[in-house]
Amino acid sequence: MAEKILIVDDDLDTLRLVGLMLQKVGYQISAASNGEQGLAKAFEERPDLILLDVMMPDIDGYEVTKRLRKNPATSSIPILMFTAMTQLDDKVSGFEVGADDYLTKPTHPTELQNHVKALLARTPRPEALALKPSVPEQQGYVVGVLSARGGLGVTTVASNLAAALLSRIQEDVIFAELTPGQGTAALDLGLPTQTMLNEILEGSVAEVTAEKVAAALVGHNSGLKLLLASQNPKDVRLTSQTQQYEALVTRLAGLARFVILDLGSGLHEFVQGILSLCAERVVVLEGLPNPIQHTRLLIDEIADLKLDRKTTQVVVNNRVRNEGQLNLNQTQEKLGHSVTSVLTPAPELFAQALKSQTLAVIAQPASVTAQQFLKIADAILEREKAQ
């Protein structure tokens, strides 16, 4: 099969002429008329070589090259910068961001063909590498965990639920904390500050490749794979990237049998988009009158998104002992929805887990709390099998 060359140039005459030049000698040609379109085609088509203009109105060739090099899906594709800019500094800049070769316009067809041929000759084609795919194809069971308001323990429930599922199946389980600027899991688990979620959300939808998402996951001694949010408050701006979020969740679902999402509190626009991608939703609340009332409104709003109420599970997370807590029957009556599970207060256990930089289910696997999480996990496993 002929090698595919992607030409990215905002000058339509150049696209046509260069495309014809290379097509005549047997190459398959794909074309993009701006940087954004070029990135999208590069991630979708995975060409054998990219012929890239520098001066373009939306995203210049330097920025395109940086993004291509940062993404594992395109990091090794050879890039030939092809531009009218002739200054030495321009060429140096091109090489610094990751270009493999540089040609100035206009160029003789033979010179262009020789540069292309040389680049392709020293870059093995993907099929020649005889490697197994780095990202297996599957469709994992996605569970979104959220609450009506903050401070109800969404991250604690989601992360321990992920650990409980892992202990049951001993297969890949991903815990993804999707709340940029409000991340707590990295600090709780003794991991460095995480920025990969930011990088994914800051890029275009096309840049959310399976390879990039897989590379963003970090391991934990529990065996969980983690995608963790940053702690910098200004990063909450990234919650407006609804399309990137949806692409991210779709990619995560292809990387593990179970994906547990920490969606934080409230029903932000990005959360509404993600909820429809979840096989089920877990709503966390406390057994107190005000949280119950807020949660009832949240469940009603989720139902208004045309999502089956039966796929919304409710977990009462009584974090501390409180005389005002309602019992199960009172909670269900006030909530207008059945409760899946009640987590009894265990502040000492969670404090121990925090001190050990691990999860409660792992810190004391025989504890009542661990057994409660395992029961929730078993119910999810049954619903996964039924689905």
pLDDT the model gives residue 88: 62
CATH 3.40.50.2300-classified regions of the chain: 4-129
Distances in whole angstroms, Cα of residue 256 to Cα of each of 132, 164, 207, 213, 264:
17, 15, 20, 12, 21
Length of the chain: 387
CA-CA-CA-CA torsion sign (171, 172, 174, 175): positive
CA–CA–CA angle 188, 192, 193 (5° rounding): 90
CB atoms within 10 A of CB 108: 9
Segment (H or E) for 32:
strand 28-32
Q: Within the chain, which residue ranges are assigned CATH 3.40.50.300?
A: 141-386
The residues that bridge with 82 in the sheet, in sequence order, are 103
The proportion of the chain whose per-residue pLDDT surpasses 90, expressed as a percent, equals 84
Q: How many CB atoms lie within 10 A of CB 234?
A: 9
Q: What's the whole-number average pLDDT of the chain?
A: 92
Give me the torsion for CA of 127, 129, 132, 136, rounded to 10°: -60
pLDDT of the residue at 133 = 42
Q: In CATH terms, is domain 4-129 a member of 3.40.50.2300? A: yes
* 138 — pLDDT class (breaks 50, 70, 90): low
Q: Is residue 135 over pLDDT 50?
A: no
In our burial notation (b when 16+ CB lie closer than 10 A, e otherwise), range 20-53 reads ebbeeeebebbbbbbbbbbbbbbbeeebbbbbbb
pLDDT, tens digit, 9 for 90 and up, residues 95-117:
889 999 998 887 888 999 999 99
Whether residue 21 has pLDDT greater than 50: yes
Q: Does the pLDDT of residue 61 top 60, yes or no?
A: yes
Specify the pLDDT at position 132. 39
Order of strands, sheet of 28-32, starting from the edge strand that comes earlier in the sequence: 28-32, 4-8, 49-52, 79-83, 101-104
261-293 b/e (C-beta count within 10 Å ≥ 16 → b):
bbbbbebbebbeebbebbbbbbbbbbbbeebbe
Task: Say yes or no to pLDDT of 198 above 60.
Answer: yes
d(CA 206, CA 288): 44
Q: What is the 3-state secondary structure (H, E, C) of 299-347?
A: HHHHHHCCCCHHHEEEEEECCCCCCCCCCHHHHHHHHCCCCCEEECCCH
Per CATH, the architecture of 141-386 is what?
A: 3-Layer(aba) Sandwich (3.40)
pLDDT value at 182 more than 80? yes
Please, which pLDDT band fits residue 125 given cuts at 50, 70 and 90?
A: low
